Amino acid sequence: MSYLFDHPGTVFYAIFVSFWAVTFLEYWKRKCASLAHHWDCMDFEEEEEKPRPEFAARAPLIERNSVTGLREPSFPAGIRTQRMLAVLIFLVGIIIYRVMGAMPMFKSRELRGWASIISGSTGAVVNLTMIMFLGRVYEKLAVRLTEWEMHRTQTEFEDHLTFKVFIFQFINFYSSIFYIAFFKGRYVGYPGHYRHIFHLRNEDCSNSGCLMELAQQLI
């Protein structure tokens, strides 16, 4: 069964995906430049963008814009930097929590059942359920955190929101896959000297390796 995914054709498929990804990004850059020219946004400057209504309603200060010369709502840069650092620390904590949460799932005896295929499928279903649930939570959390940072323009707000959502969703979707591909079955130790992480024994792969379970997670 594992030969279905582990055969010489996998190498050519990986090469094809690599070239496809690079080509897609280059064509996307061309599309973005074409749309920017079509919408006359090539020389757009963020300093000329007006403040967001939410920012204007909550900003504690009114200062003169050095570019437009108009008095606009303002927020102290030092406080914004402190909030962004706090959000970054919180983001790292979420990442560690998600990665550590994926490990016990694949160590649980209740998820193993009687056969490796059944256990892998069960773990994949449970992991998918967690991904769908946490994905909704992360999206709402990212919006709240970005609003708390008090970004002046809509462009700044969307850039920081996109970054948070990307990091959240990347860890949410791929933490279990990275665990199976690079950590499961490694650093196991030997009888009498098994290695543990957070009081959990490092799990070993089946006799056929972890590729089958990895394929189930990807599917």
State the number of CA atoms in the 13 A half-sphere of 42 facing the CB. 5
How many residues are there in the chain? 219
Q: Scanning the structure block, which residue is given the tokens 């295929």?
A: 117
SS3 9: helix
Residue pair 152/55 in contact (Cβ under 8 Å)? The answer is yes
Instruction: Place 29 in a pLDDT band, splitting at 50, 70 and 90.
Output: very high
At residue 113, the pLDDT reads 42
The H or E element containing residue 80 is helix 77-107
Q: Binning pLDDT at 50, 70 and 90, where does residue 19 land?
A: very high
- The pLDDT of residue 114 is 44
Supply the pLDDT for residue 111. 47
* 219 Cβ contact list (under 8 Å, min separation 6): 124
Q: How confident is the model at residue 23 (pLDDT cuts 50, 70, 90)?
A: very high
Q: What is the dihedral of CA 155, 160, 163, 169, to 10 degrees?
A: -110
CA distance 35 to 162: 20
Strands (E), 5-152: 61-64, 71-74
Is 27's pLDDT higher than 90?
A: yes
Residue type, 108: S
In angstroms, the CA 133 to CA 127 distance is 10
The encoded tokens of residue 196 equal: 């543990």
- Residue 183 has a pLDDT of 72
User: Tokens 């706090």 sit at which residue?
Assistant: 86
Query: 11-15, 101-105, 112-116, 170-174 — which is least confidently predicted?
Result: 112-116
Query: What are the tokens at 111?
Result: 């998820």
Residue 160 CA, distance from chain mean position: 13
Q: With a cut of 90, say whether residue 12 has pLDDT above it.
A: no
Tell me: the pLDDT tens digits for 177-217? 777 777 776 766 666 666 666 566 666 666 666 777 777 66
pLDDT at 22 over 90: yes
State the Cα–Cα distance between residues 151 and 158, nearest whole angstrom.
9
| CA 37 from centroid of its chain's CA atoms | 31
Structure tokens at 64: 């003169």
The string of pLDDT tens digits covering residues 80-102 is 888 888 888 887 887 777 666 65
